Chain A
Amino acid sequence: MTRLATPFSPDRPALVAFITAGDGDTAANLDALVAGGADVIELGMPFTDPMADGPAIQEANLRSLGAGTTTADIFALAAAFRDRHPDTPMILMGYANPMVRRGPDWFAAQCRDAGVDGVICVDIPVEEDAALGPALRAAGVAVIRLATPTTDAARLPFVLEGAGGFLYYVSVAGITGKQQAAQASIADAVARLKAATDLPVAVGFGVRTPDQAAEIARVADGVVVGSAIVELIAQHRENAPQYVEAFVASLRRAMDGARNTEEISA
């Protein structure tokens, strides 16, 4: 099994935790995510024009770039994380332009060498897969695709072509960190997605509290939390790691409880 497949098991939903690289003490915050119980690390690559992100992650992008974060810095952070945590999967999330700037093969090789297991590129849909997908797959890096409320049944198989790692269900049509989708619609969507793929399905966008994470954990293989963690980093700056760890631990406990309750009631 690949490192990315390990955390998604039928009896234990995975917690995917996002932070923006270069916003605050990233190494310490990454360690805090792992210590708190995150199963998959999603490291955001800052971009000047994060058009799919809400205010929290937009501001994290600008803080990071304002502090001078470069692409080389991001890969250095990833490689150092891989040395400290050989078994915790890490994926990069970001926008197309920084990823293709030096060519897709360069980017894919950097990912492979830094121990990055997968890549989410917001603005490369399957239609434009050639811009990055073949290079990543050739380097053994998973192309993690997004499915959304607008991805209908006819389109879904196409979206899954060349996809790897897990399928990220964007639970609301919108930007990160804003409104949350109704639980019933998430359950329906996850069931539909799981019928179409063997990949684990993780749900994100608008998941902010342990209760929400627990609700989603009842139906999905994974829960993605981003903006709420990024807001803690913005609020607590150099003291953030302890708050991040405690918050992630509260998410993890709630998710574990969710499945346990389900088993008891079943």
Chain B
Amino acid sequence: MIDTPNSYRTQPDSEGHFGAYGGRYVAETLMPLVLELEAEYNRAKADPAFKAEFDYLLEHYVGRPSPLYYAERLTDAVRAECDESKGAEIWFKRDELNHTGAHKINNCIGQILLAIRMGKTRIIAETGAGQHGVATATVAARFGLPCIIYMGARDMERQAPNVFRMKLLGAQVIGVESGARTLKDAMNEALRDWVANVDDTFYIIGTAAGPHPYPELVRDFQSVIGTEARAQMLSRTERLPDLLVAAIGGGSNAIGLFHPFLDDKDVAMLGVEAAGHGLDKQHAASLAGGAPGILHGNKTYLLQDEDGQIAEAHSISAGLDYPGIGPEHAWLKDSGRVEYTSVTDTQALTAFQLLCKTEGIIPALEPAHAIAAVVERAKTMPRDKIILANLCGRGDKDIFTVAEALGVEL
């Protein structure tokens, strides 16, 4: 544990460190670009026109604010299964209703506006589940910039609908055959592209990780989730929620929800990692099963062996299938401000079906992990407590994966 700071909302420091984590662990070729991005982001933050354009696009193109929704039938289902004094209210921030069906677009809008400010003319990105790839391809189409998406070949197989979406949007999707052919390998390949195309290319990183300033700027762009939710909750219930819950791969939707609440000391927070086949088997829970290390530009918790070789992650959710986590989560874990837990593939599948049947909402497999944790926590919390979870993506893209897991032939 580290000393309790006066505020949890002042990270990172000027060198991009979140406590012992974060930083700028990139090749020298990229270092000047990363510094240039930081300088431009600082100028953009101080420019009211930048914020005005970001807000305009979020409202009229993305469809924000997203609703805050009380999940009454899910709450009732939980209450039917626990002690009658228990069963907290379950509320959702409906970021699956955004244009493109996930929270990823919030960040992509912000980053493409930065790319344009910097005069970059070519966009690259990595993607796991394809949600960030679709969101990137979307904003690239919207602003008329060529776009290349790197995606693990294995992820392309299990997320075929998103591959087609990206192509419809005009992006070139390049399958990555190295390693386990998933998100980590796609990120390696995107970095190789970036280092070879430093003059004209902007790399839109999809999660709150990578070299500084990416973890900070992705968090800031995604913080619209928590900022809206906090105001909506106060307006609807005249109080703050008791517990926030969000799924974590790299951690962008979670940090976006959590960050605006970090100094509300009565609001507890729970991040949910993917336990895959189980924490004693193959999984993607870097905080639960990893150790601090350096990868993809930042120091953070990583799944790795005793020699520092990176382990292959596994999750049924391609969006959580990554052996690292954003550095701010690493710091929030060590500081004790946020609690982290994990949910297996099987538990996520159960929660996926429960939400379909109780609320008429097909969630993505990523927030299905959060919902599994919400259901368990709600059973232990009094009825007058409120849990707010981020429904960060819709599940249309996952129906083939879910069908296969359930043994259903489509």
Q: A58-B178, A97-B295, A123-B294 are in contact. Are A51 and B191 (CB under 8 A)?
A: yes
Q: Distance (Å) between the CB of B272 and the closest chain A CB?
A: 25
Q: Is the interface of B mostly helix, strand, loop or mixed?
A: mixed
Chain B contacts with A in 7-37, Cβ cutoff 8 A: 15, 23-33
Q: Which residue from chain A places its CB closest to the CB of B198 in the assembled complex?
A: A173
A128 CB within 8 Å of chain B: yes
Q: Distance (Å) between the CB of A111 and the closest chain B CB?
A: 15
B136 CB within 8 Å of chain A: no
Q: Distance (Å) between the CB of A59 and the closest chain B CB?
A: 9
B237 CB within 8 Å of chain A: no
A145 and B179 alpha carbons, distance in the complex (Å): 28
B307 CB within 8 Å of chain A: yes
B31 near A125 (CB under 8 angstroms)? Answer: yes
Query: Across the interface, which residues of B come within 8 angstroms of A146, CB to CB?
Result: 27-29
A181 CB within 8 Å of chain B: no
**Hey, what's the 0/1 contact readout for B294-319 against A, CB within 8 Å counting as 1?**
11110100101011111000000000
Q: Which residue from chain B places its CB closest to the CB of A94 in the assembled complex?
A: B308
A188 CB within 8 Å of chain B: no
Query: Across the interface, which residues of B come within 8 angstroms of A123, CB to CB?
Result: 25-27, 294, 297
B308 near A98 (CB under 8 angstroms)? Answer: yes
Query: Across the interface, which residues of A come within 8 angstroms of B27, CB to CB?
Result: 51-52, 122-123, 125, 146, 148
Chain A contacts with B in 122-179, Cβ cutoff 8 A: 122-125, 127-128, 131, 145-152, 155, 159, 170, 172-175, 178
A49 and B183 alpha carbons, distance in the complex (Å): 12
A233 and B27 alpha carbons, distance in the complex (Å): 26
A99 contacts which of B296, B299, B302, B308 (Cβ < 8 Å)?
A: B308
A48 CB within 8 Å of chain B: yes
A65 CB within 8 Å of chain B: yes
Q: Distance (Å) between the CB of A64 and the closest chain B CB?
A: 11
A101 near B191 (CB under 8 angstroms)? Answer: no
Count of B interface residues, CB-CB < 8 Å: 36
Q: Which residue from chain A places its CB closest to the CB of B197 in the assembled complex?
A: A173
Q: Which residue from chain A places its CB closest to the CB of B16 in the assembled complex?
A: A127
Query: Across the interface, which residues of A come within 8 angstroms of B198, CB to CB?
Result: 150, 173
A48 near B294 (CB under 8 angstroms)? Answer: no
B67 CB within 8 Å of chain A: no
A100 and B26 alpha carbons, distance in the complex (Å): 15
Query: Across the interface, which residues of B come within 8 angstroms of A127, CB to CB?
Result: 15, 23-24, 31
Q: A101-B304, A127-B31, A175-B192 are in contact. Are A49 and B179 (CB under 8 A)?
A: yes
A-B contact pairs, 7 of them (CB 8 A): A49-B296, A51-B187, A97-B304, A150-B33, A150-B198, A155-B31, A174-B195
Footprint of A on B, CB under 8 Å? 15, 23-33, 178-179, 184, 187-188, 191-192, 195-198, 293-297, 299, 302, 304, 306-310
Footprint of B on A, CB under 8 Å? 47-52, 54, 58, 62, 65, 70-71, 95-101, 122-125, 127-128, 131, 145-152, 155, 159, 170, 172-175, 178
Other A-B pairs beyond A51-B191, A148-B28, A174-B29, 12, CB < 8 Å: A49-B188, A70-B307, A100-B293, A101-B306, A122-B27, A123-B27, A125-B24, A145-B28, A150-B33, A151-B32, A155-B31, A178-B196
